[in-house]
């Protein structure tokens, strides 16, 4: 009764099912790994944000690549702002979704050394080639607190760094790039400023990263695995339906043939 499974149509359907099942299982594990990565990242963010602040020079140095374990680590820096070499980083988004720039300024540390500080977000100038209106920095020695971040790169950010931008404008926050422009060593990575709070909230400080949301990846993983389990079930259901339809068609054909057979004439007396 199931010889129809050897037909071309059903063989193709069976092969397609055999391909779909492992593919869907693999997609489920991919989503599971994304879920696990998000959970681990949230744990790292929460742990580093709650850690006691340390001097930035204790975690990084010129040419140093900030490891993932130190991302968002609370740090402090004492020194003076180098307002003369302040630049803006184009195409950055504010809390409300507005597109503007981040204000990036070198900070000369007390005792020697320079670190980059991202002061926060301000609106772009009406003319994209002009330097926007940026509030001045405090004069004299100050202590800045913030989160340690790794240098932005073209490969990691997907942003193309353009060399022919207007003066004092960049696309990426990169300590090596700024060290070349400043002609002096700069500590690897940069500080995302959290304090002191600027007057009138300008520049707008960058919000802390979200360490609560884990996204829908686990739900997607379960969905893919349910789809994988549904493929063989669906195949069996279709096969049984096909068998039922074929049996019904055969019975109908037999009944029709019986009805079409003429009855024998009665014998003459």
> What is the pLDDT, as a whole number, of residue 156?
61
Is 265 a member of any domain? no
**CB within 8 Å of 59: residues ≥ 6 apart:** 66, 70, 73, 75, 148
Does residue 42 carry a pLDDT above 70?
Answer: yes
> What is the pLDDT, as a whole number, of residue 162?
63
Q: What is the pLDDT of residues 137-176, one digit of tens each?
A: 999 999 999 999 999 988 766 666 666 788 999 999 999 9
156 close to 171: Cβ distance less than 8 angstroms: no
Domain tally for the chain?
2
Q: What is the pTM of this model?
A: 0.74
Does residue 262 carry a pLDDT above 80?
Answer: no
CA distance linking residue 156 with residue 169, whole number of Å: 20
Residue 234 and residue 104 share a domain: no
Residue 95 and residue 228 share a domain: no
Is 222 a member of any domain? yes
Is 104 a member of any domain? yes
DSSP, residue by residue, 189-231: SEEEEEESPPGGG-SBPPPPPP-S--TTHHHHHHHHHHHHHHH
Q: Quote the strand ranges of the chain, DSSP E.
A: 54-55, 74-81, 87-93, 99-109, 114-123, 142-149, 169-170, 190-195
Q: What is the pLDDT of residues 76-86, one digit of tens each?
A: 999 999 999 99
Residue 82 and residue 115 share a domain: yes
Residue 140 and residue 35 share a domain: no
Q: What is the pLDDT of residues 196-228, one digit of tens each?
A: 999 888 899 999 887 777 889 999 999 999 999
Is 129 a member of any domain? yes
Q: What is the pLDDT of residues 44-65, one digit of tens each?
A: 889 998 999 999 999 999 999 9
Cα–Cα separations (whole angstroms), residue 27 to 24, 30, 31: 5, 5, 6
As a whole number, the mean pLDDT across the chain is 90
Residue 159 and residue 63 share a domain: yes
Residue 167 and residue 68 share a domain: yes
Residue 22 and residue 118 share a domain: no
78 close to 109: Cβ distance less than 8 angstroms: yes
Is 256 a member of any domain? no
Residue 168 and residue 219 share a domain: no
Does residue 15 carry a pLDDT above 60?
Answer: yes
Least confident of 158-167, 180-189, 230-239: 158-167
Is 72 a member of any domain? yes
Residue 163 and residue 242 share a domain: no
Residue 137 and residue 15 share a domain: no
Residue 196 and residue 92 share a domain: yes
> What is the pLDDT, as a whole number, of residue 158?
63
Residue 153 β-bridge partners: none
Choice between 239 and 25, residue whose per-residue pLDDT is larger = 25
Is 258 a member of any domain? no
Is 269 a member of any domain? no
Residue 56 and residue 33 share a domain: no
Peptide bond preceding 172: is omega within 30 degrees of 0, i.e. cis? Answer: no
Structural domain of 127: 52-201
């Amino acid at each position: 009764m199931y010889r129809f499974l050897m037909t071309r149509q059903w063989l193709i359907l069976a092969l397609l099912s055999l391909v779909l099942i492992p593919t869907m299982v693999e997609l489920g594990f991919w989503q599971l790994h994304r879920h696990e990565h998000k959970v681990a990242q949230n744990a790292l963010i929460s742990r580093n944000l709650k850690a006691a602040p340390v001097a930035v020079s204790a975690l990084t140095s010129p040419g140093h690549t900030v490891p993932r374990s130190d991302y968002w680590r609370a740090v402090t820096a004492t020194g003076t702002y180098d307002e003369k070499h302040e630049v803006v980083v184009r195409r950055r988004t504010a809390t409300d979704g507005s597109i503007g720039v981040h204000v990036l300024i070198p900070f000369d540390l007390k005792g020697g050394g320079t670190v980059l500080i991202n002061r926060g977000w301000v609106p772009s100038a009406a003319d994209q080639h002009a330097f926007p209106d940026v509030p001045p920095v405090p004069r004299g020695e100050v202590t800045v607190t913030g989160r340690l971040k790794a240098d932005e790169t073209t490969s990691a950010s997907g942003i193309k760094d353009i060399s022919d931008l207007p003066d004092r404008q960049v696309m990426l926050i990169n300590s090596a790039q700024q060290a070349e422009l400043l002609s002096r060593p700069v500590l690897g990575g940069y500080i995302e400023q959290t304090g002191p709070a600027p007057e009138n909230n300008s520049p707008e400080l960058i919000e802390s990263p979200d360490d609560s949301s884990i996204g829908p990846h686990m739900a997607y993983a379960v969905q893919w695995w349910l789809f994988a389990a549904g493929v063989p079930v669906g195949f069996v259901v279709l096969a049984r339906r096909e068998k039922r339809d074929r049996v019904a068609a055969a019975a109908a054909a037999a009944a029709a043939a019986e009805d079409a057979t003429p009855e024998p004439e009665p014998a003459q007396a």
